[in-house]
């Protein structure tokens, strides 16, 4: 089991700084997407609610990640530190690749009857509306907050074999594990850009409080709509049985909630939680197959 530990040298309360010294380059991997998701069937996980939740999450990733890229790009000209500029370049490349990969997955999910097209379109409209109204720094604060949410979910997936085993399709498991690794690799990039351009603690913390509630409400609503359209959910007792499984899953457990709330502490920095050993272990696993990551079943990393 790979250890994940808090970094004591970055004690709570200490003013956070752009901490790029020693940060490894955030590498953009090539992925093979052609026909990778053709084999997916409607059952994405071992239970109904989780399957619809995973589809809803996958649907919001492309517009969400495009928003993250735009938010960070707006401040690129103000980044003087070459180390931070380098990881920003990697962050943009990684997020753009995730967006393309989830688009490919979502097209297949739409064929299977999941409302990924509508959920993605609504997410994109809401984020673009926000960009027209809110200051650029507030959008960057939202990106930094969501990067903490994705890093928290990523750590859960990569540390908890039980969560991974619940994903039925190898291609979906490979997509999410690769995505999770890169979310951990670049987890501090948007945060450090925010800090570098003078983003304050109050805006950062209030943004996370609102983002947490908004994200949970939006994903819950998207999952509910998705479930309502699924004939399998209308079978007597199906939802009750699924709910019994879902409510026990680590995804909705107290540890995830605690880690999300960590971000709301003054002096928080993403590197205070050391995931370098976890990242190294998964890098070795994913990169073992060669330069290009094959997301089709045969080349997918094992559970
Ligand atoms: Fe991503
Ligand atoms: Fe990310």
Q: Which residue is associated with the tokens 């990039």? A: 189
Would the pLDDT of 14 be above 50? no
What is the CA(227)–ligand 1 centre distance, in A?
A: 25
Helix axes 48-73, 136-159, angle to 10 degrees: 140
The answer to whether residue 223 sits within a structural domain is yes
- Which ligand approaches the C-alpha of residue 91 most closely? 2
The answer to whether residue 38 sits within a structural domain is no
At residue 286 the predicted structure's pLDDT band, cuts being 50, 70 and 90, is: confident
The answer to whether residue 18 sits within a structural domain is no
Give the chain's end-to-end CA distance (angstroms, integer): 13
Per DSSP, the three-state class of 263 is: coil
pLDDT in tens, 166-217: 998 888 999 999 999 999 999 999 999 999 999 999 999 999 999 999 999 9
> Is there a contact between 158 and 282 (Cβ–Cβ < 8 Å)?
yes
The answer to whether residue 174 sits within a structural domain is yes
Q: Which residues surround ligand 1, an ion (CB under 5 A)?
A: 65, 95, 98
What is the CA(274)–ligand 1 centre distance, in A?
A: 19
- Which ligand approaches the C-alpha of residue 96 most closely? 1
The answer to whether residue 37 sits within a structural domain is no
What is the CA(70)–ligand 2 centre distance, in A?
A: 13
What is the Cα 183 distance to its own chain's centre?
6
At residue 287 the predicted structure's pLDDT band, cuts being 50, 70 and 90, is: confident
The answer to whether residue 284 sits within a structural domain is no
Which range of residues forms the domain containing residue 219?
44-267
At residue 297 the predicted structure's pLDDT band, cuts being 50, 70 and 90, is: low
Q: Where are the beta strands (DSSP E) in 97-254?
A: none
> Is there a contact between 245 and 162 (Cβ–Cβ < 8 Å)?
no
What is the CA(12)–ligand 2 centre distance, in A?
A: 24
Per-residue model confidence (pLDDT) at position 293: 82
Give 136's contacts (C-beta < 8 A, 6+ positions apart): 71, 74, 75
Q: Which structure tokens are listed for 281?
A: 């272990």
Would the pLDDT of 247 be above 80? yes
Alpha-carbon separation of residue 7 from 1, 199, 224, 272, 274 (angstroms): 18, 23, 39, 5, 6
Per-residue model confidence (pLDDT) at position 290: 75
What is the CA(237)–ligand 2 centre distance, in A?
A: 37
The answer to whether residue 248 sits within a structural domain is yes
Q: pTM for the whole thing?
A: 0.90
pLDDT in tens, 113-168: 999 999 999 999 999 999 999 999 999 999 999 999 999 999 999 999 999 999 98
Per DSSP, the three-state class of 227 is: helix
What is the Cα 147 distance to its own chain's centre?
7
What is the per-residue DSSP string for 176-199?
HHHHHHHHHHTTTHHHHHHHHTT-
Per-residue model confidence (pLDDT) at position 36: 84
3-state percent breakdown (helix, strand, coil) of the chain, nearest 5? 65, 5, 30
Q: What is the C-alpha separation between 84 and 139, in angstroms, rounded?
A: 19
pLDDT in tens, 68-107: 999 999 999 999 999 999 999 999 999 999 999 999 999 9
Quote the number of domains for the chain: 1
- Which ligand approaches the C-alpha of residue 72 most closely? 2
What are the two backbone dihedrals, phi and then psi, of residue 274, each rounded to the nearest 5 degrees?
A: -85, 110
- Which ligand approaches the C-alpha of residue 100 most closely? 1
The answer to whether residue 112 sits within a structural domain is yes
Q: What is the C-alpha separation between 30 and 90, in angstroms, rounded?
A: 13
What is the CA(134)–ligand 1 centre distance, in A?
A: 23
Q: Show the CA angle centred on residue 266, arms to residues 260 and 272, nearest 5°.
A: 60
Per-residue model confidence (pLDDT) at position 301: 53
- DSSP letter assigned to residue 58: H
């Amino acid at each position: 089991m790979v250890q994940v530990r808090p970094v004591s040298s970055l004690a709570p309360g200490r003013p956070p700084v752009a901490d790029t010294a020693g940060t490894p380059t955030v590498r953009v991997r090539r992925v093979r997407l052609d026909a990778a998701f053709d084999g997916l069937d409607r059952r994405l996980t071992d239970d109904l609610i989780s399957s619809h939740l995973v589809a809803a999450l996958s649907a919001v990733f492309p517009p969400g990640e495009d928003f993250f890229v735009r938010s960070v790009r707006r401040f690129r000209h103000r980044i003087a530190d070459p180390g931070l500029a380098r990881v920003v370049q990697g962050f943009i490349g990684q997020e753009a690749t995730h967006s393309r990969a989830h688009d490919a997955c979502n097209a297949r999910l739409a064929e299977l009857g999941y409302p990924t097209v509508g959920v993605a379109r609504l997410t994109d409209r809401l984020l673009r509306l926000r960009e027209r109204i809110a200051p650029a720094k507030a959008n960057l604060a939202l990106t930094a907050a969501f990067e903490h949410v994705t890093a928290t979910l990523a750590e859960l997936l990569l540390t908890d074999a039980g969560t991974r085993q619940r994903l039925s399709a190898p291609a979906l498991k490979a997509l999410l594990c690769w995505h999770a690794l890169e979310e951990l690799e670049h987890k501090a990039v948007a945060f450090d850009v925010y800090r570098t351009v003078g983003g304050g603690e109050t805006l950062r913390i209030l943004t996370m409080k609102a983002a947490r509630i908004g994200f949970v409400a939006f994903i819950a609503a998207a999952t509910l709509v998705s479930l309502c359209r699924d004939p399998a959910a209308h079978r007597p007792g199906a939802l009750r049985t699924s709910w019994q499984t879902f409510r026990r899953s680590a995804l909705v457990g107290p540890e995830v909630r605690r880690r999300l709330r960590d971000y709301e502490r003054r002096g928080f920095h993403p590197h205070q939680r050391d995931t370098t050993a976890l990242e190294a272990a998964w890098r070795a696993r994913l990169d073992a197959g060669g330069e290009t990551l094959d997301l089709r079943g045969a080349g997918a990393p094992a559970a």
